[in-house]
């Protein structure tokens, strides 16, 4: 049965309800993003308590993103039919139950199951937030400001997650890293029932079994392959998995192109505004996740700071993220969306380049400046979201939201796999000959050994090289966006 979007009056329900609904959506996104980073802090204690081996640790970390990435497309398509609010509230409930289940986890397998369930909940929550923002704010300029606040929430969540994790672990067991989600999701569930309108597509895409298998199998295999290539697993099985993933995704795209109302509206990529928005979101998330990943390691292992202090040291990125995205739409209204997006990417690249230019040993003041610039550069991310959602027709809001969320997820995987691997290559190259195997494997293994001074200096160089590589890639995307976006594009995705 085909349902329709509510009328504008029913959707908005007054300014208070609209902005209250946005607060619910932003808060839920904050929890999901924080959960991605809190585990990194909790993993050592969890591993020790449950005696998790290397393979179990790998799955504890990876299963969340694999499930999330695999389910984004079919869940978004199903939400278009079933109801986006209903999907979101179901995601809240699953996220809360999964987090509560961590309390009874007694083995690594139990934690893996909890993380998989969290991935299902996250896949329900993330695209639904964007689709509902599109429904809550039919006015393009209001929607751009709302999406700027949404992007700021994502930036803050990534930076605040390690602080919350460090604070919880200093007072409680690793279970607290999961249990903190429960009251937050319960509040979001109640507030969502009261404040959020239902929203459906009047032309929902076809959810067919073969398309689901192709999209889920392709995304899971591709993300798994890229992750393992990033860990240095350049072996035949990994390459076969990656190749199979790309082949399945190719088949999924061809299937969508052959359908009148496909599960994912891949024809949206024919629009240069949509393509530019996705490219901006992809490179921004790649740079931010790589910086958070390598930067937190540098702060803890090279500087010797505690997880909590390292989390606090990452706060300048959150400060920049709170300023840039909400201000970007107003600036874009005066200077043009293309100019502001490109300027945001250039500022982001400048922050990354700062890391490479800093003297050795790196002073924290320089790191803080780089983080602030990167956070401020996420102004491009907020406008990119406005262009992505604005360039898609209302009945394709679910597809646009799924593509945007996939760009964030893939960007995070690439940030750790590609730029994180680059850091590993540079680090190992700087070690002296005959360094212990443990030191070659990771900088943690070099601590307390004769090669520690060389290892610390080498990892600092690796951190700087990540900044240089990220800056080059970001500037290349900035050039492509400048060439691809019409000069008169506005925040609605039109002209």
CA of 275: how far to CAs of 108, 403, 480, in Å?
Answer: 40, 10, 10
Residue 138 — very low, low, confident or very high, per pLDDT cuts 50/70/90? confident
pLDDT at 1: 36
94-131 burial, b for 16+ CB within 10 Å, e for fewer?
A: bbbebbbbbeebeebeebbbbbbbbbbbbbbbbbbbbb
Chain position carrying tokens 């949509």? 274
User: In the CATH scheme, what architecture does the domain 8-206+259-484 have?
Assistant: Up-down Bundle (1.20)
pLDDT tens-digit map of 226-252:
877 766 667 788 889 989 999 999 999
Burial of 132 (0-12, 13-18, 19+ CB in 10 A): buried
Provide, rounded to the nearest whole percent, the portion of the chain with pLDDT above 90: 23
- Weakest-pLDDT range from 8-22, 274-288, 371-385: 8-22
Of the ranges 106-115, 373-382, 438-447, which one carries the lowest mean pLDDT score?
Answer: 438-447
Lowest mean pLDDT among 50-54, 235-239, 385-389, 403-407: 50-54
pLDDT attached to residue 14: 53
Query: Model confidence at 400, in pLDDT bands (50, 70, 90)?
Result: confident
Which pLDDT belongs to residue 62?
76
- Taking the C-alpha atoms of residue 488 and residue 490, their distance in angstroms, rounded to an integer, is 6
- How high is the pLDDT of residue 276? 92
Q: In sequence order, which ranges of 236-363 are alpha helices (DSSP H)?
A: 236-257, 272-297, 307-313, 315-335, 337-357
What local confidence, expressed as pLDDT, does residue 457 receive? 92
65 vs 199: CA distance, rounded Å: 27
Tell me how long the chain is. Answer: 495
pLDDT at position 493, please? 58
Q: Is 305 within 8 Å of 431 (Cβ atoms)?
A: no
State the chain's mean pLDDT as an integer.
84
pLDDT tens digits, one per residue of 310-338: 888 888 988 888 888 888 888 888 888 89
Most confident option among 128-142, 214-228, 346-360: 346-360
Backbone angles phi, psi at 14, to 5 degrees: 95, 150
| Confidence check: pLDDT of 479 > 80 | yes
Banded model confidence at residue 297, pLDDT cuts 50, 70, 90: confident
Please state the rounded mean pLDDT for residues 355-373: 93
Please state the rounded mean pLDDT for residues 264-286: 90
**Integer angstrom CA distances of residue 42 from 80, 122, 462:** 36, 19, 25
**Cα-based angle 156, 108, 308 (whole degrees, multiple of 5):** 30
pLDDT at res. 474: 95
Handedness of CA 67, 285, 479, 482 (dihedral sign): positive
Cβ-Cβ contacts under 8 Å for 327 (sequence gap 6 or more): 148, 379
Q: What is the mean pLDDT of residues 370-398?
A: 86
Pairwise pLDDT comparison (358 vs 175), residue with the higher score: 358
Answer whether residue 454 shows pLDDT above 70.
yes
Q: What element of type H or E holds 443?
A: none
How many contiguous H segments (helices) and E segments (strands) does the chain have? Answer: 20, 0
The answer, yes or no, to whether residue 391 has pLDDT greater than 70, is yes
Average pLDDT estimate for 91-120: 90
pLDDT of residue 475: 96
pTM, rounded to two decimals: 0.84
């Amino acid at each position: 049965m085909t349902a329709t979007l509510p009328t504008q009056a029913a959707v908005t329900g007054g300014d208070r309800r609209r902005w209250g609904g946005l607060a619910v959506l932003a808060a839920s996104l904050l929890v999901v993003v924080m959960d991605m980073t809190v585990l990194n802090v909790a993993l050592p204690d969890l591993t020790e308590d449950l005696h998790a081996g290397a393979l179990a640790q790998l799955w504890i970390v990876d299963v969340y993103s694999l499930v999330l990435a695999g389910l984004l497309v079919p869940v978004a398509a199903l939400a278009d039919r079933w109801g986006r609010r209903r999907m979101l509230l179901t995601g809240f409930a699953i996220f809360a139950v999964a987090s509560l289940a961590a309390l009874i986890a007694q083995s690594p397998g139990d934690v893996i199951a909890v993380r998989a369930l969290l991935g299902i909940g996250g896949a329900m929550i993330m695209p639904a937030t964007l689709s509902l923002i599109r429904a809550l704010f039919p006015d393009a300029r209001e929607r751009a400001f709302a999406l700027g606040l949404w992007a700021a929430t994502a930036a803050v969540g990534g930076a605040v997650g390690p602080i919350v994790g460090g604070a919880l672990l200093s007072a409680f067991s690793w279970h607290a890293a999961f249990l903190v989600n429960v009251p937050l999701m319960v509040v979001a569930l109640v507030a969502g029932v009261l404040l959020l309108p239902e929203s459906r597509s009047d032309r929902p895409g076809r959810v067919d079994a073969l398309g689901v298998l192709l999209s889920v199998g392709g995304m899971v295999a591709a993300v798994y392959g890229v992750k393992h290539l990033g860990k240095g697993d350049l072996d035949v099985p990994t390459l076969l998995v990656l190749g199979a993933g790309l082949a399945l995704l190719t088949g999924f795209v061809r299937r969508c192109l052959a359908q009148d109302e496909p599960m994912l509206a891949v024809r949206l990529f024919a629009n240069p505004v949509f393509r530019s928005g996705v490219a901006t979101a992809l490179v921004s998330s790649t740079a931010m996740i790589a910086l958070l990943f390598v930067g937190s390691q540098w702060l803890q292992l090279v500087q010797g700071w505690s997880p909590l202090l390292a989390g606090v040291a990452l706060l300048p990125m959150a400060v920049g993220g709170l300023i840039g995205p909400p201000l970007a739409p107003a600036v874009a209204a005066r200077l043009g969306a293309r100019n502001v997006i490109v300027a945001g990417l250039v500022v982001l690249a400048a922050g990354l380049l700062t890391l490479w230019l800093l003297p050795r040993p790196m002073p924290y003041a320089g790191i803080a400046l780089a983080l602030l610039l990167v956070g401020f550069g996420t102004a491009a991310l907020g406008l990119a979201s406005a262009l992505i959602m604005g360039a898609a027709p209302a009945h394709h809001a679910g597809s646009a939201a799924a593509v945007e969320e996939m760009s964030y997820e893939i960007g995070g995987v690439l940030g750790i796999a590609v730029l994180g691997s680059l850091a590993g290559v540079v680090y190992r190259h700087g070690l002296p000959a005959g360094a212990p195997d443990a030191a070659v494997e990771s900088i943690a293994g070099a601590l307390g050994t004769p090669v520690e001074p060389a290892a610390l200096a080498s990892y600092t160089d690796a951190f700087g090289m990540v900044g240089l590589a990220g800056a080059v890639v970001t500037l290349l995307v900035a050039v492509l966006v400048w060439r691809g976006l019409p000069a008169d594009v506005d925040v609605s995705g039109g002209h």
